[in-house]
Amino acid sequence: MTTNRRDRLRELLDSVLDERHDTLDDMAEDVHSSRFHFARTISRSAGESPMAMRRRVMLERAAWQLQCGASVTDAAWTAGYESAEGFSRAFVRAFGHPPSRQTSGHWLPSPNGIHFHPPTSLWVHSPESPMNPLSEQLIRHDLDDTAHLIRTAARLGEDELHRPVLPGTVVLDWDGEEASIGAVLDNLVYTKEVWLASLEGLDLPERPTRATPESLLHRHDEVTGRWLAAVRDIERRGAWDDRLVDALCDPPESFVISAVFAHVLTFSAHRRQLVRHMMRARGHRIDDGDPILWLRRLRGEHTDDGVATTQVQPAPTVDDTEG
């Protein structure tokens, strides 16, 4: 048995959130603990009972699944509810609106900083080694906003996704032309895939010749978990000033790890706004991607953000075939 308190706590948390564990007895038995000791340890360490934490995180996951197009019935079933009606009542109590209404962000207020993060990860604030709040917000906003833009762009259709909007647009020379919404979104995802390959010592990842909205969202979801794991590992080891020798460069090149993440965040922010510019150029209304409004929604605060929405809204044009 481990003597590391943080590892033991994470083991207990994993048991709380294991989909196979429907009851407190199931959770405690999995980690060879008594029901009483298990509940007391979680409540003292996390400030939340095991069952309350499980319900909250499962509702956060359900909210994310709904944003990705899941039905209310499917989200209810995966969250452990026996009926869509019971799930809807719990969702309204937690989020303040029915699950049929999409919202930006999926976190609920938490006493411990433990939240669901897609596709299957947890975002856990460690009180013993907290991440700088600014760094955390920049990283979280980048990931959430990219997913939001991919989901929004999926409603445009593949032809419009790959139609040139700004011919000759180049963000970074080695990435080539990014004239369409699809090309910019693809580079938003591929940049992280390449840097993760360098950090993890993998081969250069293959790149689809023509990315679809579905493949982009799948790739982004897969990258999200790995990206967060890399950040947490670097933070845990205090390795931001370490150097990465990127063997994927020809010849190999050395980079300070903190500079790598600064580079990714800088050009990701630029590309996310470039996508919005292209959407507006095609006659669509889209939110501004303001991290202030994102953080307010994340914390469940009231906002009057006008067109801040998860849905692309076509402006009336002669091409519109629906009312």
Collapsed DSSP state (helix, strand, coil) of residue 246: strand
> Residue 21 has what DSSP assignment?
-
In contact, 62 and 99? CB cutoff 8 Å: yes
- Which residue from 139, 215, 145, 142 is spatially nearest to 182, judged by alpha carbons? 215
Residue 81 DSSP one-character state: -
In eight-state DSSP terms, residue 173 is G
CATH no. of 133-314: 1.20.120.450
Residue with tokens 């980048």: 142
- Residue ranges of the domains in the chain? 5-106, 133-314
pLDDT at position 111 = 74
pLDDT for residue 125: 46
pTM comes to: 0.59
For residue 242, the model assigns a pLDDT of 83
Q: Which residues pair with 117 in a beta bridge?
A: 121
Q: Do domains 5-106 and 133-314 have the same CATH topology?
A: no
If you ran DSSP here, which 8-state letter would residue 316 be given? P
SS3 305: coil
Cis ω before 291 (30° cut-off from 0):
no
What is the distance between the alpha carbons of residues 65 and 54, in angstroms, rounded to a whole number? 16
pLDDT 10s digit of each residue in the chain, 323 long?
333 444 566 677 777 777 677 788 888 888 888 888 888 888 877 778 888 888 888 898 888 888 888 899 998 988 888 899 999 999 988 888 888 876 656 778 777 777 776 655 555 544 444 567 788 889 989 999 999 999 999 888 888 999 999 999 999 998 999 999 999 999 999 999 999 888 877 788 888 887 888 888 888 888 888 888 788 778 877 888 888 776 666 777 788 899 999 999 999 999 999 999 999 999 999 999 999 998 888 776 655 544 334 344 443 332 333 33
pLDDT of residue 122: 59
Q: Rounded to an integer, what distance in angstroms lies between the CA atom of residue 4 and that of residue 249? A: 39
How far is Cα 107 from Cα 115, in angstroms, rounded to an integer? 7
Q: How far is CA 275 from CA 83, 183, 288, in A?
A: 39, 9, 11
CA dist 196 and 178 (Å) reads 22
| Domain 5-106 CATH (choose: 3.30.70.360, 1.10.760.10, 1.10.10.60, 1.20.1070.10) | 1.10.10.60
Place of tokens 């294991």: 18
- Token look-up 């943080």 returns 6
Contact 7, 45 (CB under 8 A): no
CA-closest candidate to residue 62, choices 127, 108, 14: 108
Q: Position 269: which residue type?
A: A
Nearest alpha carbon to residue 182 among 223, 152, 212: 212
Q: How much is the pLDDT for 278?
A: 96
Instruction: Give the closest residue to 54 by CA, choosing from 28, 10, 15, 7.
Output: 15
- 284 SS3 class: strand
